[in-house]
Amino acid sequence: MTHVTIVEMSPRDGLQNEKRTVPTADKIRLVDMASACGFERIEAASFVSPRWVPQMADAAEVLAGIDRRPGTRYAALTPNAKGLEAAIEARADEVAIFGSASEAFSKANINCTIAESLERFGPVVERARQVGLPVRGYISCVVACPYSGPVEPASVADLAARLLALGCYEVSLGDTIGAGTPDTVGAMLDAVLPLVPAHLLAGHYHDTNGRALDNIEASLARGLRVFDASLGGLGGCPYAPGAKGNVDTIAVCDRLDRLGYRAGLDPARLTEAAAFARSLRPEA
Ligand code: HMG
Ligand code: MG
C-alpha cells in the first residue's frame, strides 16, 4: 500500500488559537502522546512574538520538556531570524517559515508584504542551512483570504516556486479558512504542479466547511502524499477569524484506509491522544 505522511499539527496550529492558557505540562503531554502514535513529524511549537500569539510563548519550555522519540522530527514555526535562533537553541529538528498568497493576510499575520516576507525569509533559510536544519515553507490563503476573498491560483504557484528556490524542502499549501472545494483546490494544484512537483508539496487544509477530506482526496489524485492534520480537529489561526481547525487526524487516517493508502499510525494511541487533545479545548 502507498504510504502517506500525516504531519501532526495539534500542539502548534491546534493550540495557538486557544482562548484559555493551556498549561505547558499539558502541551508537553500532548506532544508525547502524539509521539507515541508514530508520527514522523510533529509541529510542536512556534517561536513567534509572544505579543502577537501569547499562546505559544512557552515554546522553548515545551521543546525542553518533551520525550524525543527516535524517528520523529519536532518542528517549530520561525517567522524571522529571532525566532530561528530561539528554535536552534531549543533544539527543534526542523523549522518552518510561513508566507501568504494574499497581501492582506500577510500584513495581518506577519506584519509585512509578501515581497518583504521573502526578503526576511532568505537569511532565515540560509542560517538554517548552515546549522543543518530542514526548512518547510507554508503558504496561507491558497484558495481564499479572510480579508480579501478569492486568491488567484497563479499567485500560489509563484510563491510556492519562490519558497522552493529559497531552499525549502517542502511547501505546505494552507487553506487557512477552509474555503476550498475539490474544484478550487484542484485548480490551485493544477497551477502549482507545473512549477513544483507533487513530492515537494503538502496539503494543509482547515475544515471550516467540512470539505477538507474531499480536498485531500483531490490532492491525492494529483500525487500529493503529505498532509497536515490535527488530533481532535484542533486548530485555527488568530489572524483568520472564523476559521475552524485543521482536518481531524483520525478522519484522515480513516479516509486514507478506505482509499488504500497507509499512514502507519497506531489507532489505539491515536484515539487516546485525540481524546486528550479535545480535553484541552473544551469549547471546540
Ligand atoms: P513585528 O511586530 O513586525 O516584529 O512582528 P518586529 O520585528 O518589529 O519586533 C517587534 C517586537 O517583537 C520586538 O520586541 C521583537 O524583539 C519581538 P520589543 O523590542 O518590542 O520588545 N519579536 C519576537 N519575539 C519573539 N520571537 C520572535 C520575535 N520576532 C519579533 N520570533 C512578527 C512580526 C512576524 C514577529 C509577528 O507578526 C508574529 O509573531 N507573527 C506570527 C503570527 C502567527 O504566529 N500566526 C499563526 C501562525 S501562521 C498559521 O497559523 C498559518 C498556517 O497554519 C498555515 C495556514 O493554515 O494557512 C501555518
Ligand atoms: Mg493552519
Q: Measured from the CB, is residue 14 less than 6 Å from ligand 1?
A: no
pLDDT (tens digit per residue) in 128-178 = 999 999 999 999 999 999 999 999 999 999 999 999 999 999 999 999 999
Are the C-beta atoms of residues 43 and 96 closer than 8 Å to each other? Answer: yes
Tell me if residue 250 falls in helix, strand or coil: helix
Residue with cell string 497536515: 228
Q: Measured from the CB, is residue 13 less than 6 Å from ligand 1?
A: yes
ipTM greater than 0.90: yes
In terms of phi and psi (left: phi > 0; alpha: psi -120 to 50; beta: otherwise), the region of 195 is alpha
- Closest residue by Cα to atom 19, ligand 1, is 49
pLDDT band at 284 (very low <50, low <70, confident <90, very high): low
Known catalytic residues are 237
- Residue 282: pLDDT above 70? no
Q: Measured from the CB, is residue 219 less than 6 Å from ligand 1?
A: no
- 279 CA distance to ligand 1 middle (Å): 28
Contacts of residue 222, Cβ cutoff 8 Å, sequence gap at least 6 = 186, 189, 190, 193, 198
Between CA 174 and CA 62 the distance in angstroms is: 25
Are the C-beta atoms of residues 202 and 171 closer than 8 Å to each other? Answer: yes
- Closest residue by Cα to atom 13, ligand 1, is 49
Sign of CA dihedral 152, 246, 49, 87: negative
pLDDT (tens digit per residue) in 220-254 = 999 999 999 999 999 888 899 888 899 999 999 99
pTM: 0.98
